[in-house]
Structure 1
Amino acid sequence: MQQEPTISLFDNKTGQKKDLKIEEYVQGVVAAEMDTKWPVNALAAQAILARTFTMENVKSGRVKQLHGTDVSTSVEESQAYNPDKINDNVRKAVEATRGEVVTHRGNYIRAWFSACDGGVSATAEEGLDFTKEPTPYIKGGVKDGCLSITEPKNKAWEARIPVDQVRAAVKEKAGQDTGPITTAAIVKKGPSGRAEQIKIGQATLSGPSLRLALDSEKVRSMLLSDIKVEGGQLVLTGKGFGHGVGMCQWGARLMAEQGKSPEDIIDFYFKDIAIEKQWK
């Protein structure tokens, strides 16, 4: 068993670098990524994933190349980080799972999570367009009942975006020209029913890339019930919030309320994994 690692953190806002113990860093990540008033076991499951994500990120050296540090405060480069939000709940959750990480055949997994998977989890391919390497430890198609407790805007949402805006966004972000947009359709659905390929005008692009192009706060997921063009707008209706891969935070909250342990929650969303304690 190793000593608790010390890692270096780049603050993207101030440009400053500092060293801190990994458990202290994980507290700041959990506080930023999940509501700190939620049950301790949900926060603890988040802590296991945050710790795993950190170790995988450090090992890969992705942030080292950018800033010369192990991690950064950027969500795109690392994870959200907000030490100001740390409370006793968060401290308990991190302490209860101290040193715990998730591995698959001895390697750190990609510890994905999203806010609300709309009641059914996604594979990495359909949810994130991720094909760089196999992710056999991701359970797609898991039904978790999260819609029973999540907020209304995650149960059903509608996004209306003017077609000119859609055309410009797809051109800029996905490098494709749709031409004048009069039609839109789902070409291919993934195993969980998410839109994996979508045709907008003359362009066909992946669901995840369309969502990112159009603003992922507005187009809340790719678990779509409908997509159409009406009145000069692209209209999408769906449920869920986020990519849906890995742990669903609302599902984790539901399971924690039902008395499930942090490890039970992780096991529910991932398969063929080990939860290892790597330092005392």
Structure 2
Amino acid sequence: MKTAKILRYLWFAIFALLIVSGGCNWFGGKSPQQKPTPGQTPKPGSQQQQSAATQSEPEITVYMHETGEKRKMKLEEYLTGVVAGEMKPEWPVNALAAQAIIARSFTLHEIETKGGVPERGTQASTDIKEFQAYSAQAINDNIKKAVEMTRGMILTYQGKPINAWFHASAGGITATAKEGLNYQEAEPPYIRSVQSPDDLAPADVKHWTAVFTKQEVLAALAKIGKSVNRLDSLAIGEKGPSGRVTTLKVNGQETVSGPNLRVALDSMKLKSMLLDKVEVSGNKVFFSGKGYGHGVGMSQWGANKMAVDGKKPEEIAQYYFKDVKIEKRWK
């Protein structure tokens, strides 16, 4: 009998000790948060993800399209080449720094959502058609300073890197993703159309005329799946919120995507879809408009003017997007 009582008291003592130490979960309590195993991705918003975000600068593999090699480098080193390739190196440091924030955000967004450039087996590429422009030769002290002063800074929406689109000149107003890029997914909540101070853009960007032959336009139409035997007329159809042409009418009947036709023709020649006029005359097709690029996100010429006016890099980058925050991912 005494032995039974001793065993019962001993059992209660062990039971109480387990509850106090938190070593059991019998009453619905939360067990201690486990650390991720090596290679395991922390869940979004978890303490592990937040602490990992400020641990160290990533090393990435970049496909160098000029030589075909794959080169490992720190992300900030890669960015100096991107900023030098995407913006004029002699521009104000604050404009270059805004571009660094945008390019860094774009890079991380692509890596975290798509794995970078999976077809190359790398996190980035120097081929502008695949990723971003890159020019190691154009790097100067201004570029290095701009990247260093914004080290680790990215734009985030609800804690995630945004798809930080940018372009040369908005022609005075930026576009939504759908109208500027014919974006097929839901419009990102952080993309908006805003007035852009593109005053300093050169004359051939402020106003331009692009001329193509009918054969060139017919070939471009075929590229986007619109096979037409002849081209009697081409006219502006619908426009988006910023005034950009989203559709064109071929021969008064066939409707084609404006952004898609621009890329199929030559996006460096047909500079934007912020068009004033489209006209077919003889064997030629004339487009007149303003701005340069798809118009979504940050305007580089707008960033230049804002920097000249004394705006900080963070202010410039945030101006072109809605409800975004600056987050420093590494020191």
Q: Distance in 1 between matches of 2:184 and 2:286?
A: 28
Is 1:268 the counterpart of 2:319? The answer is yes
TM-score, length basis structure 2: 0.81
Q: Distance in 2 between matches of 1:157 and 1:103?
A: 35
Is 1:144 the counterpart of 2:175? The answer is no
Q: Is the CA contact (8 Å cut-off) linking 1:156 and 1:238 kept in structure 2?
A: yes
Which of 211, 221, 230 pairs up with 1:180? 230
Tell me how large the CA RMSD over aligned residues is.
Answer: 1.2
Which of 1 and 2 has greater Rg?
A: 2
Q: In structure 2, list runs of 5 or more residues that go unmatched.
A: 1-53
| CA displacement, residues 68-119 of structure 1 (integer Å, 9 cap, x when unaligned) | 1111111122111111111000001001100001111112111100001111
Matching residue of 2:82: 29
AA in 2 matched with 1:119: G
Is 1:97 the counterpart of 2:147? The answer is no
Q: Larger RCO: Structure 1 or Structure 2 (Cα < 8 Å, ≥ 6 residues apart)?
A: 1
- What is the CA-CA distance between 1:132 and the residue it aligns to? 2.1
Which of 221, 236, 254 pairs up with 2:272? 221
Matching residue of 1:113: 166
AA in 2 matched with 1:186: I
TM-score, length basis structure 1: 0.96
Q: In structure 1, list runs of 5 or more residues that go unmatched.
A: none
Q: Distance in 2 between matches of 1:212 and 1:256?
A: 30
Matching residue of 1:40: 93
| CA displacement, residues 145-190 of structure 1 (integer Å, 9 cap, x when unaligned) | 21x211010111111111122112210x201123311111111100
Matching residue of 1:245: 296
Q: Distance in 1 between matches of 2:322 and 2:295?
A: 16
Q: Distance in 1 between matches of 2:197 and 2:65?
A: 37
More strand by share: 1
Q: Give the count of matched residue pairs.
A: 277
- What is the CA-CA distance between 1:64 and the residue it aligns to? 4.6
Runs of 4 or more, structure 1, over 4 Å off, are none
Q: Is the CA contact (8 Å cut-off) linking 1:61 and 1:70 kept in structure 2?
A: no
| CA displacement, residues 30-87 of structure 1 (integer Å, 9 cap, x when unaligned) | 0000000000000000000111111111112354521211111111221111111110
Matching residue of 2:310: 259
Which of 220, 227, 235 pairs up with 1:169? 220
3-state secondary structure, aligned to 1:263: helix
